């Protein structure tokens, strides 16, 4: 693989996906009805596949190495790096960065007028989309249905694009610094308090209970009455 094709492959991989991106290209031949296009990196060849529809026909262009090289030369950017040229082509097809594309109908398909805005100049080129299928003759009811289907598809694509831009990805939700201790008062207090001193673990046993105290014998009739101590004087009645 030569250096030119290697640079082209690297640029294609970095700017386009095999899934593709949806584009809305203004169509001068159909007022207020843009051309709905899908651009993606070709999986079978080194290039770009561009498909489009105006809901009355299908159009396609396969841009391989030679076609892209001719388009780069026709637009006056033969000396530009592949990544720079493909970035401008992507901007023109999507109508960004001051670049633009306008479609028009021809006998064999669609003609895309490309405008590339540089810092001090505007370059131009054109791209042809070949018609690969056309809508067969239909009744008035069939045309009304197709028009309604077209509006539904465009609204659905716009709604999906809007939701995708509003919904953060998991990586965006997880991005950012971890919370510090100063953001949580409980963590701050726990971090500021000194840790209790630790030492060797000791196991203390409760004091052993002494021998049970002997209860003084008393009267069964009156438990609060004390008995006569040994060696004392006997109980005597005083003479009247």
Whether residue 198 lies inside any domain: the answer is no
Listed residue (126, 154, 125) closest to 54, CA to CA: 154
- Tell me what the mean pLDDT of segment 32-38 comes to: 88
Whether residue 83 lies inside any domain: the answer is yes
pLDDT in tens, 94-139: 999 999 999 999 999 999 999 999 988 999 999 999 999 887 776 7
Whether residue 117 lies inside any domain: the answer is yes
Total tally of structural domains belonging to the chain: 1
Q: What is the pLDDT of residue 226?
A: 53
Distances (CA, A) of 57 to 24, 33, 51: 16, 14, 11
Residue 41 has pLDDT above 50, yes or no: yes
Whether residue 17 lies inside any domain: the answer is yes
Listed residue (80, 61, 59, 60) closest to 69, CA to CA: 80
Question: What is the reported pTM?
Answer: 0.62
Tokens (6 digits) for 19: 């899934």
User: Cβ neighbours of residue 124 under 8 Å, at least 6 residues apart?
Assistant: 75, 113, 114, 115, 116
Rounded to whole angstroms, the Cα distance separating 18 from 24 reads 19
Whether residue 25 lies inside any domain: the answer is yes
Domain coverage including residue 60: 3-136
Q: Transcribe 20-49 into DSSP letters.
A: -EEEEE-BTTSTT-PEEEEEEE-SSSSSEE
Q: What is the pLDDT of residue 87?
A: 96
Assign residue 33 the CATH number of its domain. 2.170.210.10
> What is the overall mean pLDDT for the chain?
77
Whether residue 226 lies inside any domain: the answer is no
Residue 186 has pLDDT above 80, yes or no: no
Q: Per DSSP, what are the bridge partners of residue 58?
A: 53, 133
Whether residue 93 lies inside any domain: the answer is yes
Whether residue 111 lies inside any domain: the answer is yes
């Amino acid at each position: 693989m030569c250096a030119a094709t290697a640079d082209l492959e690297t640029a294609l991989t970095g700017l386009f996906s095999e899934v593709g991106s949806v584009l809305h290209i203004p169509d001068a031949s159909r007022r207020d009805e843009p051309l709905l296009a899908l651009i993606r990196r070709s999986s079978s060849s080194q290039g770009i596949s561009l498909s489009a529809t105006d809901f009355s026909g299908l159009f396609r262009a396969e841009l391989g190495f030679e076609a892209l090289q001719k388009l780069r030369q026709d637009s006056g950017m033969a000396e530009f790096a592949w990544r720079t040229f493909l970035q401008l082509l992507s901007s023109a097809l999507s109508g960004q960065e001051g670049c633009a594309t306008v479609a028009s109908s021809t006998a064999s398909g669609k003609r895309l007028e490309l405008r590339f805005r540089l810092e001090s100049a505007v370059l131009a080129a054109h791209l042809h989309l070949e018609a690969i299928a056309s809508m067969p003759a239909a009744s008035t009811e069939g045309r009304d249905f197709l028009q309604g289907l077209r509006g539904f598809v465009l609204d659905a694509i716009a709604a999906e694009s809007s939701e995708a831009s509003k919904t953060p990805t998991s990586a965006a939700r997880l991005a950012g610094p971890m919370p510090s201790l100063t953001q949580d008062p409980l963590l701050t207090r726990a971090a500021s308090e000194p840790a209790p001193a630790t030492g060797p673990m000791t196991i203390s046993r409760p004091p052993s209970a002494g021998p049970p105290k002997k209860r003084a014998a008393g009267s069964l009739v009156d438990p609060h009455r004390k008995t006569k101590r040994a060696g004392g004087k006997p109980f005597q009645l005083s003479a009247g």
